[in-house]
Chain A
Amino acid sequence: MYKGRIECSGVGKKYGDFTALKNVDLLIEAGDFLVLFGPNGAGKTTLLKILCGMTRPTSGVAKVGGADSHSPEIRGKIGVISHKSYLYDSLTAFENLEFYGQMYGLENPRARAGELLETVELAQRKDDMVRSFSRGMTQRLSIARALVADPDFIFLDEPFTGLDHHSAVAFQALLSALHKRGKTVLMITHDIPLGVAASTRVAILKNGRKVFDEKTDGLGGDKFMKTYLEVAGK
């Protein structure tokens, strides 16, 4: 079932002389929730950028939903949530979602914007400028932005950055709900307890290589923390 699957085969990426990724093989099945851990500079964000078509690998093949990750048609099936919101401060919450709806070619972006604002509980603030939003509200709106085209794949890069504990837990609940709806999720985080709790699989990248990849079943947060420190801390 290629529709919701992500495949990396021998993926490498170089920036000049610096090698960010080396020969990474990764298979994420449809409906998986994979959390990618690793120390800073391990190549996690580079891998995510390759998978969402923001940059091309220098070697290997990255496929999302059976298509080259750089193809425009697959970009429409991916929603990306980062610690940067990709939202315009000088536009209202509604205008931001309407704009992204137009960019994804929706037939009725205004209706979709309204619906998503209800989903992330920001309908009452729809006419407020994003610059007036708290970090937690901005991140909720960022989720709405990523969901504007109802994507099959959701990629998250450090989504908990700057969120207080309460907002992080609420955010995680939203993610779990999305995962239950059959979305394939790939998340990068340094928050091991939250990441392990949300995931169905965990992997560790170190120095551009995949050094660990297992199902989360039976792998508690504490046990994984030890594994992480052993593997990534060497």
Chain B
Amino acid sequence: MKNTLLSARAVLMKDLRTEWRTREFLGHTFMFALLVIVIFNFAFKINPQNAPGFASGILWISFLFAGTLGLGRSFLVEKENDCIQGLALSPVDRTAIFLAKFAGNLIFLLIIQVIVVPAFIVLYNVNVMENFFMQCLVFLLGDVGFMTLGTLIAAMSVNLKAREILLPVLLLPLLTPLLIFAASATASLVGGDDPSAYLGRIRLLAAFDVIFFVVSLLVFEYIMDEL
């Protein structure tokens, strides 16, 4: 277990170092997420009555688009010079590679959120973070489920010619229940609903995360075999 975590840390640090030097992921996805919330700002007339629904929908759509863009790149860096084979040849537990890619994708999405959410609050004048800790928990649980499943599907699609199309086509249907619970929990928190309205959804989000995570860990080794 210790070796797995050390190897995962090595892959993660390598990915962060590469991203820091190229800034390919953050630059593109941040602009994309920001563009989504700016365009919606012109398209919708948000007032205190419809704010919870709109705010939640716009935020989660921007996270979804930006996150999916980033997922596509997470394994693509390993295609350069066939480095994915170099990783596959090393004696590390394959789950270390999954954990590192998952952690990297999660960190990048969290960075996007740290920038996009304040921008959203300023642009729309809707404080989505009024219930700060619960909203952070919803974002985190939604992100974990999204990135767990996304990392798995990104690995499966990395060798496909039409991967840019196939990644969202494969991912979005599987992600729909999680996104519904995440968006509705965010809406309830923005609307100041009774805790009973969102606590159940938060529990479901946690359940999805556990299921996705365990299944992904079990399946990833077989996916690596085919890369």
Instruction: Please report A residues at the B interface, Cβ cutoff 8 Å.
Output: 52-56, 72-73, 75-76, 78, 80, 82, 84-91, 95, 99-100, 102-105, 145, 149
A-B contact pairs, 8 of them (CB 8 A): A54-B85, A75-B90, A80-B89, A82-B85, A84-B85, A85-B82, A88-B81, A103-B7
B82 close to A86 (CB less than 8 A): yes
What residue of chain A has the Cβ atom nearest to residue B21's Cβ?
A90
What residue of chain B has the Cβ atom nearest to residue A129's Cβ?
B21
A56 close to B18 (CB less than 8 A): no
Tell yes or no: B107 within 8 A of A by CB. no
A99 close to B91 (CB less than 8 A): no
Interface of A is mostly: loop
Give Cα A87–Cα B86 distance, bound, in whole angstroms.
8
Interface string of B62-81 (1 = CB under 8 A from A): 00000000000000010011
Known: A76-B91, A105-B6; 9 extra A-B contacts, CB below 8 A, are A55-B225, A72-B92, A75-B91, A86-B86, A88-B77, A91-B18, A95-B17, A100-B90, A103-B91
Residue of B7, B21, B85 near A86 (CB, 8 A) is B85
Question: Which chain B positions have C-beta within 8 A of A103?
Answer: 7, 10-11, 87, 90-92
Chain A nearest CB from B80 CB (Å) reads: 6
The count of A-to-B residue pairs whose CB atoms sit within 8 angstroms is 76
Interface of B is mostly: helix
Give Cα A88–Cα B6 distance, bound, in whole angstroms.
20
Question: Which chain A positions have C-beta within 8 A of B91?
Answer: 72-73, 75-76, 103-105, 149
Question: Which chain A positions have C-beta within 8 A of B10?
Answer: 99, 102-103
What residue of chain A has the Cβ atom nearest to residue B224's Cβ?
A54
Give Cα A90–Cα B145 distance, bound, in whole angstroms.
30
Interface string of B24-67 (1 = CB under 8 A from A): 00000000000000000000000000000000000000000000
Query: What 3 pairs across the A-B complex have the smallest Cβ distances?
Result: A86-B86, A76-B91, A84-B82
Question: Which chain B positions have C-beta within 8 A of A85?
Answer: 81-82
B225 close to A82 (CB less than 8 A): no
A100 close to B80 (CB less than 8 A): no
Chain A nearest CB from B202 CB (Å) reads: 37
A54 close to B89 (CB less than 8 A): yes
